Amino acid sequence: AKKNSVLLGEGFETLAGFDGDLTAESEAASLYVLTHVHLVKFLLEEGCKKMAADAKGNEDFETVAKMLVDIIGGASFDLACVLKLINEFQGVLHINVLRMLRSPKKSYWIAAGGGLNAVLGTAIFRGLRQLKGYSNRQWG
Protein backbone atom coordinates (compact mmCIF):
# COMPACT_ATOMS: atom_id res chain seq x y z
CA ALA A 1 0.00 0.00 0.00
CA LYS A 2 2.85 2.37 0.80
CA LYS A 3 4.47 1.72 -2.59
CA ASN A 4 1.14 2.52 -4.27
CA SER A 5 0.78 5.80 -2.39
CA VAL A 6 4.34 6.80 -3.35
CA LEU A 7 3.55 6.00 -6.99
CA LEU A 8 0.31 7.97 -6.79
CA GLY A 9 2.18 10.92 -5.24
CA GLU A 10 4.66 10.78 -8.09
CA GLY A 11 1.77 10.82 -10.56
CA PHE A 12 0.18 13.86 -8.94
CA GLU A 13 3.52 15.65 -8.93
CA THR A 14 4.12 14.87 -12.60
CA LEU A 15 0.64 16.07 -13.58
CA ALA A 16 0.98 19.22 -11.45
CA GLY A 17 4.02 20.11 -13.56
CA PHE A 18 2.15 19.58 -16.83
CA ASP A 19 2.01 22.85 -18.78
CA GLY A 20 -0.87 21.78 -21.05
CA ASP A 21 1.38 21.46 -24.07
CA LEU A 22 1.10 17.99 -25.61
CA THR A 23 4.60 17.91 -27.03
CA ALA A 24 5.96 14.51 -28.00
CA GLU A 25 8.92 14.87 -25.61
CA SER A 26 6.82 15.53 -22.53
CA GLU A 27 6.55 12.71 -19.99
CA ALA A 28 3.86 14.75 -18.21
CA ALA A 29 1.86 14.93 -21.45
CA SER A 30 2.19 11.16 -21.80
CA LEU A 31 0.87 10.66 -18.28
CA TYR A 32 -1.98 13.11 -18.95
CA VAL A 33 -3.07 11.14 -22.03
CA LEU A 34 -2.81 7.78 -20.25
CA THR A 35 -4.67 9.11 -17.21
CA HIS A 36 -7.53 10.23 -19.45
CA VAL A 37 -7.69 6.80 -21.09
CA HIS A 38 -7.70 4.99 -17.75
CA LEU A 39 -10.25 7.39 -16.30
CA VAL A 40 -12.75 6.64 -19.06
CA LYS A 41 -12.12 2.88 -18.79
CA PHE A 42 -12.53 2.94 -15.00
CA LEU A 43 -15.72 5.00 -15.13
CA LEU A 44 -17.27 2.57 -17.61
CA GLU A 45 -16.06 -0.51 -15.67
CA GLU A 46 -17.44 0.65 -12.35
CA GLY A 47 -20.67 2.10 -13.74
CA CYS A 48 -21.46 -1.09 -15.61
CA LYS A 49 -20.55 -3.26 -12.59
CA LYS A 50 -22.92 -1.23 -10.43
CA MET A 51 -25.76 -1.54 -12.93
CA ALA A 52 -25.21 -5.29 -13.24
CA ALA A 53 -25.08 -5.69 -9.45
CA ASP A 54 -28.26 -3.65 -9.02
CA ALA A 55 -30.00 -5.86 -11.61
CA LYS A 56 -29.00 -9.25 -10.12
CA GLY A 57 -32.00 -11.21 -8.98
CA ASN A 58 -34.19 -9.02 -11.12
CA GLU A 59 -36.17 -10.75 -13.86
CA ASP A 60 -35.21 -7.87 -16.13
CA PHE A 61 -31.50 -8.76 -15.99
CA GLU A 62 -31.41 -9.27 -19.77
CA THR A 63 -32.96 -5.84 -20.25
CA VAL A 64 -30.29 -4.30 -18.04
CA ALA A 65 -27.53 -6.16 -19.92
CA LYS A 66 -28.88 -4.73 -23.19
CA MET A 67 -29.04 -1.31 -21.57
CA LEU A 68 -25.31 -1.54 -20.73
CA VAL A 69 -24.55 -2.08 -24.42
CA ASP A 70 -26.79 0.87 -25.29
CA ILE A 71 -25.02 3.07 -22.75
CA ILE A 72 -21.67 2.39 -24.34
CA GLY A 73 -22.83 2.36 -27.96
CA GLY A 74 -25.68 4.84 -27.75
CA ALA A 75 -29.35 3.92 -27.68
CA SER A 76 -31.61 4.71 -30.57
CA PHE A 77 -34.64 6.80 -29.67
CA ASP A 78 -36.70 6.43 -32.83
CA LEU A 79 -38.67 3.41 -34.04
CA ALA A 80 -36.60 3.10 -37.21
CA CYS A 81 -33.41 3.00 -35.06
CA VAL A 82 -31.81 5.61 -37.28
CA LEU A 83 -31.21 8.37 -34.74
CA LYS A 84 -29.09 7.84 -31.66
CA LEU A 85 -29.61 9.11 -28.17
CA ILE A 86 -26.35 10.71 -27.15
CA ASN A 87 -25.06 9.33 -23.87
CA GLU A 88 -22.60 10.85 -21.44
CA PHE A 89 -19.56 9.42 -23.19
CA GLN A 90 -20.49 10.18 -26.79
CA GLY A 91 -19.68 13.36 -28.63
CA VAL A 92 -16.42 14.99 -27.74
CA LEU A 93 -15.21 12.51 -25.13
CA HIS A 94 -12.66 14.83 -23.54
CA ILE A 95 -15.20 17.61 -22.99
CA ASN A 96 -17.77 15.17 -21.59
CA VAL A 97 -15.24 13.79 -19.12
CA LEU A 98 -14.30 17.32 -18.04
CA ARG A 99 -17.99 18.09 -17.51
CA MET A 100 -18.33 15.04 -15.26
CA LEU A 101 -15.21 16.05 -13.31
CA ARG A 102 -16.48 19.61 -12.84
CA SER A 103 -19.80 18.38 -11.38
CA PRO A 104 -18.89 15.04 -9.84
CA LYS A 105 -21.95 14.90 -7.55
CA LYS A 106 -24.22 15.02 -10.61
CA SER A 107 -22.44 12.16 -12.39
CA TYR A 108 -23.68 8.60 -11.99
CA TRP A 109 -20.33 7.39 -13.35
CA ILE A 110 -18.18 9.28 -10.82
CA ALA A 111 -20.43 8.09 -7.97
CA ALA A 112 -20.28 4.49 -9.21
CA GLY A 113 -16.47 4.71 -9.22
CA GLY A 114 -16.37 5.70 -5.55
CA GLY A 115 -16.27 9.48 -5.87
CA LEU A 116 -13.97 12.01 -7.46
CA ASN A 117 -10.84 11.21 -5.43
CA ALA A 118 -11.20 7.48 -6.03
CA VAL A 119 -11.65 7.72 -9.79
CA LEU A 120 -8.85 10.24 -10.27
CA GLY A 121 -6.51 8.32 -8.00
CA THR A 122 -7.19 5.06 -9.82
CA ALA A 123 -6.76 6.65 -13.25
CA ILE A 124 -3.50 8.38 -12.32
CA PHE A 125 -2.14 5.24 -10.66
CA ARG A 126 -2.99 3.05 -13.67
CA GLY A 127 -1.67 5.63 -16.12
CA LEU A 128 1.65 6.01 -14.33
CA ARG A 129 2.01 2.25 -13.92
CA GLN A 130 1.50 1.86 -17.68
CA LEU A 131 3.89 4.72 -18.47
CA LYS A 132 6.61 3.19 -16.29
CA GLY A 133 6.31 0.00 -18.32
CA TYR A 134 7.46 1.78 -21.47
CA SER A 135 11.12 2.18 -22.30
CA ASN A 136 10.34 5.44 -24.12
CA ARG A 137 8.06 7.53 -21.92
CA GLN A 138 7.09 9.98 -24.62
CA TRP A 139 3.68 9.75 -26.20
CA GLY A 140 4.54 11.12 -29.66
Q: What residues form DSSP beta bridges with 84?
A: 76
Whole-number Å distance between alpha carbons of 68 and 91: 18
Q: Which of 42, 20, 16 is nearest to 29 (CA)?
A: 20
For position 26, what pLDDT does the model report? Answer: 86
Whole-number Å distance between alpha carbons of 30 and 34: 6
The neighbour count for residue 89, using CB atoms within 10 Å, is 18
Determine if residue 115 is left, alpha or beta; phi over 0 gives left, psi from -120 to 50 gives alpha, anything else beta.
left
Q: What residues form DSSP beta bridges with 76?
A: 84
Helix, strand or coil for residue 76? strand
Give the ranges where the chain is alpha helix by DSSP (H). 2-16, 27-55, 61-73, 93-102, 108-112, 116-132
Phi, psi (rounded to 5 degrees) for 125 = -60, -50
Contact predicate 16/31, CB 8 Å:
no
User: What whole-number percentage of the chain has pLDDT above 70?
Assistant: 70
Confidence band, pLDDT 50/70/90 cuts, at residue 22: confident
pLDDT single digits (tens) 80-134:
555 554 555 666 778 888 889 999 999 888 999 999 999 999 999 999 999 988 8
For position 60, what pLDDT does the model report? Answer: 66
* pTM metric for this prediction: 0.73
For position 134, what pLDDT does the model report? Answer: 82
